[in-house]
Structure 1
Amino acid sequence: MKYSKYIVYIPVIIITVGLGLFVRAKANWFPEVFNLYAGDALYAFMMHYIVCLFTNKTPLYKAVIALLICYVIEFSQLYQAEWINTIRQTPPGKLVLGSGFLYSDLLAYLIGITLAFLSDYFLLSHKFKR
C-alpha cells in the first residue's frame, strides 16, 4: 500500500515539536547534558521532516539539506543587528532562530539529523516511491 508522505511526515513534525516543547518546559526533570542537546537535536529532526515534505529526493539528500539549513540558522546567530535581535526576543523568533551561537548546537544538529536520516531511510522511505 502506498502512503501519502503528508499522512506520515506532518504527524512526525507535530509530535517532534510537542516533544521539544515538553523537554524545554520540563528541563528540571532531565540531566543537564540532556537539556543541552535534546532541544537542538529535536529541532534538527523536525527540520529533516520539513525538508521531506518538499522533496522526493533520497534520504541522504534530505538529511544534507536539513543539516545545512540548521547550520545556516545557527551561524546566523552571529549576526547581531537590532532588527533580528528584536525578532529573536519573541517566543516564535527564539524557537525558530535561536538566541545565541554555540558550537555544541552544531553537534546536536548532527545527532538529530542522523537520527532522522536513519528513521527516514529504514522506516519511511520505502513507503514512498521516489
Structure 2
Amino acid sequence: MPSINRNRIIYGLLTISVLLTGLASRRFFGEISFVKTYVGDILWALMVFFGLAFTIKRWPVKTILLVTLLFSFSIEITQLYHAPWIDNVRATRLGGLVLGFTFVWSDLLCYSVGAMAGLLTEMYLIPARYQGKLKTSY
C-alpha cells in the first residue's frame, strides 16, 4: 500500500471552505429545518476529516475516516454530560459550535455521512498528484 504525503495547501483550503460553508449554512439557511437539523453536522464531520488529513498528512484514508468517526461520536456522547463548567463552555459561541448541546441519535448518522463524503472526496475527486502519493519501495 502506498504511503500518503498529502498536499497541505489542498487540505487546508478544503478545511477552511467546509468551515465557512457550515457557518454560512447556519447564518443564511438556519431557518430551513433540514439544513438546521442535518447539514451542519454533516459539514462538521467533513471539516474534521479534512482537518485531520491536513494535520496528519501521512495517515491512510481509512485511519482518517476511523479517527473522524471516533472523535465525532465522542463529542456527541459528551453531550449527555451536563455540569455547570461544561455548560458554561457550551454557552460560548465557539464552545457551542464544537461541543454542541444535546445528544441526538441522528447526529451520529450525519457524522457518518460527512466522514464518508470526506473519504469519497479524497478517493475519487482529488487527483493522486495533489494527494502526494508516494511509491512504496520493497
Alignment correspondent of 1:78: 80
Give per-residue Cα distances to partners, 1:21-79, cap 9 Å, x unaligned: 1110112564x223311000000000001111233122111111111100000101111
Alignment correspondent of 1:40: 41
Q: Distance in 2 between matches of 1:120 and 1:78?
A: 33
Gaps of 5+ in 1: none
Alignment correspondent of 1:128: 132
1:47-86 matches, within 5 Å, as 47-55=48-56, 56-86=58-88
Corresponding residue pairs, total = 127
Q: Distance in 2 between matches of 1:28 and 1:39?
A: 9
Q: Distance in 1 between matches of 2:126 and 2:98?
A: 26
Q: Over aligned residues, Cα RMSD in angstroms?
A: 1.8
Q: Distance in 2 between matches of 1:106 and 1:18?
A: 22
For 1:107, the aligned partner's letter is L
Gaps of 5+ in 2: none
Q: Which has the larger radius of gyration?
A: 2
TM-score, with length taken from structure 2: 0.84
Q: Distance in 1 between matches of 2:125 and 2:49?
A: 14
Q: Distance in 1 between matches of 2:70 and 2:6?
A: 26
Q: Distance in 2 between matches of 1:110 and 1:35?
A: 17
Shift of 1:4: 5.7
Q: Distance in 2 between matches of 1:91 and 1:113?
A: 24
**Identity between Structure 1 and Structure 2 (%):** 31
Give per-residue Cα distances to partners, 1:59-113, cap 9 Å, x unaligned: 1111111111000001011111110110000000001111111111111101111
For 2:133, the aligned partner's letter is K
Contact 1:59 1:125 in 2 (8 A): no
Is the counterpart of residue 94 in structure 1 residue 99 in structure 2?
A: no
Contact 2:38 2:110 in 1 (8 A): yes
Q: Distance in 1 between matches of 2:83 and 2:126?
A: 41
